Structure 1
Amino acid sequence: MSQAESLIRLEGIAKHYQMGGETIAALNGIDLHVARNDYVAFIGSSGSGKSTMMNILGCLDTPTMGKYFLNGRDVAGMSETDLARTRNEEIGFIFQSFNLLTRATALQNVMQPLIYRGIRPAERAKRAAEAMARVGLEKRMDHLPNQLSGGQRQRVAIARALCSEPSILLADEPTGNLDSATAADIMALFDTLHEEGQTVIVVTHEPDIAAHCQRVVRLADGKVQSDTVNHQRTRFHKRELANV
């Protein structure tokens, strides 16, 4: 993969923490490329480094060593203002706990990222409504989060992430608070978004969730243990395209 084709490029990424006089290497020498329209799972057990990886990719934390290029830009060279803008415009975050405003309607929650971009109210509402339609919630726009099921709340969170038209959807344990049937529905939605051209990165400890992705990166002790193509998912993807 050429540098021009890489949406994400990691070179020698390391993240060290000091704990009680001891240095802990949460990440230790990660070299990785993610292309546009990749569908990638980062999987690993507790302590493998996957949460730190998510924070680095999401520009929520900075590496101790190495370089992170996002859309060709060196993240290390960004100011705090640039980082905040990048998080708002380039990355759509989806969390296990949904992180919705409890007193705001679903539509108002979805509009939140656009407020910080200075987009006018009418345009915000239009984009948010379109995003909610994409996730199948066009009839739930005026509902509060406590009037929605867990799966519906996560769909609101996905719509909120999509509303900014981000380069990357970055999902951290997105099905962790859902039952298995609802989790399958949410992953099917990610499958559809990927088919539509969205780059999707999922951080998980669950193999059945990772199995939805076309590429599985397994982390262990802060290093890439394996980086494999999910051939079963790739064959399914090709079969779907042939039927379009």
Structure 2
Amino acid sequence: MTPAAPLIRLEGITKHYKMGGETIAALAGIDLQVARNDYVAFIGSSGSGKSTMMNILGCLDTPTTGRYFLNGRDVAGMSDAELARTRNEEIGFIFQSFNLLTRATAVQNVMQPLIYRGVRPAERLRRATEAMARVGLEHRLDHLPNQLSGGQRQRVAIARALCSEPSILLADEPTGNLDSTTAADIMSLFDTLHAEGQTVIIVTHEPDIAAHCKRTVRLADGRVQSDVMNAERTSFRPRGAVHA
């Protein structure tokens, strides 16, 4: 049987920035594949290249050299309109700061990506309600963000990402603004989504978050320092938790 094509394939990816008269290599030659239904964390310290990697994977930035294939398509060959459509349909973004509209209800926030896709209102509401149920917030549809806890707001952000039925959930420090117990709840939700077949990519600086994922890619100085499968994964424990 022919192996399934990877969802993501990076070949010789570099990214250079000009700062004054100096050229900074944020990424210095990345070769990497991500399979469908992978559950991978990119980890590294400040300046390691992980934020640049997230921007490239999310089609928010383009590499200086190299090729990025997403779902078999060379991203470099996409027009601006195709890139925008890819970001809206293929990639579900989840941010540390939630990025919710403060004057919109939870379900209205979840519907936002579908508005840009021209989905009819009744279908938008149906899909948004289903996404809210998937994250356990079917009883919070009409609540405003300031009426929700931090964990609930992050669940709304995850529901919004799921609403477009994306190929990838791309989460940037998704537990960074949460207390340790709530962070454990969010990681448990990612576990459930992965078990349902979702591809999950998390960008983090926290070792316990990375170790909980199925696979950890460590970046340093714009290169892949290590790429390991976490065979001994255990249930995520809140930072500072007492082990019985």
TM-score range, shorter chain: over 0.9
Q: Quote the residue 1:108 is aligned against.
A: 108
Q: Does 1:175 align with 2:175?
A: yes
Q: Quote the residue 1:80 is aligned against.
A: 80
Q: Quote the residue 1:18 is aligned against.
A: 18
- 1:212 positional shift: 1.6
Deviations 1:48-72 (A, max 9, x none): 0000000000000000000000000
Q: Quote the residue 2:240 is aligned against.
A: none
C-alpha distance in 2 between matches for 1:87 and 1:212 = 27
Contact 2:212–2:235, Cα closer than 8 Å, also in 1: no
The alignment partner of 2:193 has SS state of: helix
Deviations 1:174-195 (A, max 9, x none): 0010000000100110011000
CA distance 1:5–1:234, change in 2 (3 Å): farther
Q: Quote the residue 1:155 is aligned against.
A: 155
The alignment partner of 1:139 has SS state of: coil
- 1:232 positional shift: 1.1
Q: Which runs of 5 or more structure 1 residues have no equivalent in the other structure? A: 237-244
- 1:235 positional shift: 11
Deviations 1:180-213 (A, max 9, x none): 0000100110011000000000000001111221
CA distance 1:35–1:208, change in 2 (3 Å): same
Q: Quote the residue 1:37 is aligned against.
A: 37
Contact 1:214–1:234, Cα closer than 8 Å, also in 2: no
Contact 2:212–2:234, Cα closer than 8 Å, also in 1: no
Q: Does 1:214 align with 2:214?
A: yes
Structure 1 or 2: larger helix share?
1
Contact 1:191–1:212, Cα closer than 8 Å, also in 2: no
C-alpha distance in 2 between matches for 1:56 and 1:105 = 31
Q: Quote the residue 2:65 is aligned against.
A: 65
C-alpha distance in 2 between matches for 1:11 and 1:4 = 18
Q: Does 1:196 align with 2:178?
A: no
- 1:234 positional shift: 8.6
Q: Letter of the 2:60 partner, please give it.
A: L
- 1:127 positional shift: 0.2
- 1:3 positional shift: 7.8
Q: Quote the residue 1:241 is aligned against.
A: none
Contact 2:39–2:200, Cα closer than 8 Å, also in 1: yes
The alignment partner of 1:102 has SS state of: coil
Deviations 1:50-96 (A, max 9, x none): 00000000000000000000000000010000000000000000000
Deviations 1:131-178 (A, max 9, x none): 000000000000000000000000000000000000000000000100
C-alpha distance in 2 between matches for 1:211 and 1:146 = 32
C-alpha distance in 1 between matches for 2:133 and 2:122 = 17
Contact 1:13–1:66, Cα closer than 8 Å, also in 2: yes
Q: Percent identity among equivalent residues?
A: 86
Aligned residues: CA RMSD: 1.4
The alignment partner of 2:7 has SS state of: strand
Q: Quote the residue 1:8 is aligned against.
A: 8
Q: Which runs of 5 or more structure 2 residues have no equivalent in the other structure? A: 237-244
Q: Letter of the 2:91 partner, please give it.
A: I
CA distance 1:75–1:38, change in 2 (3 Å): same
C-alpha distance in 1 between matches for 2:160 and 2:189 = 14
C-alpha distance in 2 between matches for 1:49 and 1:24 = 11
C-alpha distance in 2 between matches for 1:74 and 1:227 = 23
Contact 1:14–1:64, Cα closer than 8 Å, also in 2: yes
The alignment partner of 1:233 has SS state of: coil
State TM-score, norm by structure 2.
0.94
The alignment partner of 1:231 has SS state of: coil
